[in-house]
Structure 1
Amino acid sequence: MNAKTPPSGPGPQNTDTDASTSKGDRIAKVLSRAGVASRREAERMIEAGRVRVNGEQISSPALNVTPEDKITVDNTPVGAPEPPRMWLYHKPAGLVTTARDEKGRETIFDDLPEDMPRVMTIGRLDLNSEGLLLLTNDGGVKRKLELPSTGWLRRYRARVNGRPTDEMLEPLRRGITVEGENFLPMDVTLDRQQGANAWLTIGLREGRNREIRRAMEAVGLTVNRLIRTSYGPFQLGELKTGEVEELRRKIVRDQLGLELEDPTGTAVKKPTAVRRPPRRKPGGFGGAGQPGMPVQRGEDDEPPPRRGGGKAKNAPRGKAAAGRTADKPGARPGSRTGGKPAGKPGSRGPKPRR
């Protein structure tokens, strides 16, 4: 079936009724799914006369097309859309979550590997926040996961300046109103107090602008570090700062309830090497300046799921695990247990043979 040609003349070139009854998808959506550009960028390309359908130049995005239609952009044929794909990205602090920044600041897209296809972010992390950010090549996946109705828990580790108590945190657990805006109840746990700062684990099910920072300010606390560790079933795990890892298609299909063109779920891409070394600051996340803050997760975070399922056999736990990896006085290079003591204090050593 050929594309539905919009009527000529002033005014809108398609009605809501036409859009709902016509077969196929809007041309901007098709171009977006094919990786040509975002929907808004595709609409601008159409208005600039760069897009042709079945050899005819179009000037309005109010057009539905089907797989049988031949689409070209700048006289280059547009291929079939890729199946939905998703990536995990460990966003560093100091990058803007946008394609272009009006202030000229560096964006996450400047940090992504050069071999990445055109992707969109699912939700945002503000300039000074870091941690897990989901990426996708499909606008439908993006919109689905950003809807509040999804109800996925987003977990964060927050370092706050102050001495929080249960009494201070209780309003956050009940739901708080900040500047006339109602925030849903948060799961807030006090992990530890470190001098003038404290570490909290926070879980929320909505993504309002600077929600955690604003809520903490309302109860007298200032957030000076914020790390997202999970987004629904997806975990930051051991992904290092600046690294990107693509999810298996089977995981994308199962978690999102999608029907993929490749139902085998066997296609997988190994973690993509970062284009430049990750930027780390002295005492950063997992560094020597942050005792007790591992790269993978905090003490109260849920452990990331293992790829093969189940639990690792003979895995060290708790203090025993720490004891096996900690450096001990007198340890031999590469030793786990630290070697044998030289003798009891005050001993003169072994007696010479007679």
Structure 2
Amino acid sequence: MTEVAGERIAKVLVRHGVASRREAERMIAAGRVAVNGKSIESPALNVRETDRITVDGKALGNREPTRVWLYNKPRGLVTSTRDQKRRPTVFDSLPDTLPRVLSIGRLDIDSEGLLLLTNDGEIKRHLELPSTGWVRKYRVRLHGRPGKDSFALLAKGIEVGGERFRPMSVTLDRQQGGNAWVSVALREGRNREIRRAMEAIGFSVNRLIRVGYGPFQLGKLQPGDVTEVRPRVLRDQLGTVGAVKVSDLDSRKRRASRGSRRRARRTNESSDT
């Protein structure tokens, strides 16, 4: 069978940072994406570099270099581009100077702390995978008085509501009146995982702060503030993550850009004759 040339349109949108895979599929289904002037319906359509892609009537530009930002998410914000309940979102609160970005993972509305943002859909997808192996670290305040063996079940992995959670490391830091502060580390990011796991062993979470995501730390970043990861740091930290390498991505973008310029020169030369 002949191999179909090109790349799936949904993947192209993700790689350009237009949307996540699911969001891209919804945009296509809604008729917001066109190829060579014709609205498309299938996210599986293969496109080539020579195809003209538009989203909401605007041409898809050249891919920008991969960028990542650290954001200290305040409580009360939803990690979503749109919210059916019209609650304020993370993206509503970001500075106007930022380009369109995607969140790497999520923090629920009651959680706060480190949230990674990127303009690269491929990096987003890869860093969200548990197989990447990056540890997420949290400072968590519990209501109750945990003892020495209170978290033994969590260290082995626990099943909650028919869903199996991977083992998580929990360390008791201090007791503060009727509350206890603990440090939690885990390698996956399921929906409200820490809250559900703690409830399953008899504790309620009344504050949850993410302080680390892989090699990146919240540090002294203030709530609502954003800082960009320097390109050299980004290459050092992401250059060895699985099959996705920032240096490779950047080199592919440079090759694609050079190819576009060569095609443009050829077009201009043929027009002049």
Please say whether Structure 1 and Structure 2 have the same fold, judged by a TM-score greater than 0.5.
yes
Instruction: Tell me the TM-score normalised to structure 2 length.
Output: 0.80
Whether the 8 Å CA contact 2:102–2:117 is kept in 1: the answer is: yes
**Following the alignment from structure 2 to structure 1, what is the Cα–Cα distance between the partners of residues 18 and 134?**
30
The question of 1:130 aligning with 2:119 is answered: no
Question: Is the partner of 1:167 in helix, strand or coil?
Answer: coil
Q: Post-superposition shift, 1:154?
A: 0.7
Q: Post-superposition shift, 1:66?
A: 2.5
2:255 corresponding residue in structure 1: none
Q: Post-superposition shift, 1:76?
A: 4.5
Q: Post-superposition shift, 1:229?
A: 0.3
Q: How is 1:96-107 mapped onto 2 (pairs within 5 angstroms)? A: 96-107=78-89
**Higher strand share goes to which structure?**
2
1:44 corresponding residue in structure 2: 27
Question: Could you tell me which amino acid in structure 2 is paired with residue 101 of structure 1?
Answer: D
Q: How is 1:9-48 mapped onto 2 (pairs within 5 angstroms)? A: 21-37=3-19, 39=21, 40-41=23-24, 44=27, 48=31
Q: Decide which of 164, 171, 182 is 1:189's aligned counterpart.
A: 171
**Following the alignment from structure 1 to structure 2, what is the Cα–Cα distance between the partners of residues 186 and 73?**
41
Q: Post-superposition shift, 1:65?
A: 2.3
Moved more, 31-40 or 228-237: 31-40
**Following the alignment from structure 2 to structure 1, what is the Cα–Cα distance between the partners of residues 179 and 30?**
54
Q: Post-superposition shift, 1:188?
A: 0.9
Distance 1:210 1:47, change over 3 A: closer
Whether the 8 Å CA contact 2:33–2:53 is kept in 1: the answer is: no
Distance 1:186 1:59, change over 3 A: closer
Q: Which has the higher contact order (CA 8 A, sep 6+)?
A: 2
Distance 1:64 1:171, change over 3 A: same
Identity %: 58
Q: Decide which of 250, 258, 273 is 1:261's aligned counterpart.
A: 250
Whether the 8 Å CA contact 2:114–2:218 is kept in 1: the answer is: yes
Whether the 8 Å CA contact 2:35–2:53 is kept in 1: the answer is: yes
Residues 150-173 of structure 1 deviation map (CA, whole Å, 9 limit, x = unaligned): 111111001111111112121122
Whether the 8 Å CA contact 1:88–1:236 is kept in 2: the answer is: yes
**Higher helix share goes to which structure?**
2
Instruction: Tell me the TM-score normalised to structure 1 length.
Output: 0.63
Equivalences, count: 243
Q: How is 1:67-146 mapped onto 2 (pairs within 5 angstroms)? A: 67-73=49-55, 76-146=58-128
Whether the 8 Å CA contact 1:187–1:204 is kept in 2: the answer is: yes
**Following the alignment from structure 2 to structure 1, what is the Cα–Cα distance between the partners of residues 175 and 18?**
49
Report runs of 4+ in structure 1 exceeding 6 Å deviation: none
* Larger gyration radius, structure 1 or structure 2: 1
1:228 corresponding residue in structure 2: 210
**Following the alignment from structure 1 to structure 2, what is the Cα–Cα distance between the partners of residues 252 and 152?**
15
Q: Post-superposition shift, 1:47?
A: 5.8
Gaps of 5+ in 2: 240-244, 253-273
Q: Post-superposition shift, 1:73?
A: 4.7
Whether the 8 Å CA contact 2:77–2:87 is kept in 1: the answer is: yes
**Following the alignment from structure 1 to structure 2, what is the Cα–Cα distance between the partners of residues 155 and 37?**
26
Whether the 8 Å CA contact 1:86–1:246 is kept in 2: the answer is: yes
Moved more, 174-183 or 96-105: 174-183
Question: Could you tell me which amino acid in structure 2 is paired with residue 48 of structure 1?
Answer: G
**Following the alignment from structure 2 to structure 1, what is the Cα–Cα distance between the partners of residues 196 and 56?**
46
Question: Is the partner of 2:185 in helix, strand or coil?
Answer: strand
1:59 corresponding residue in structure 2: 40
Question: Is the partner of 1:131 in helix, strand or coil?
Answer: strand
**Following the alignment from structure 1 to structure 2, what is the Cα–Cα distance between the partners of residues 74 and 105?**
24
Whether the 8 Å CA contact 2:14–2:122 is kept in 1: the answer is: no
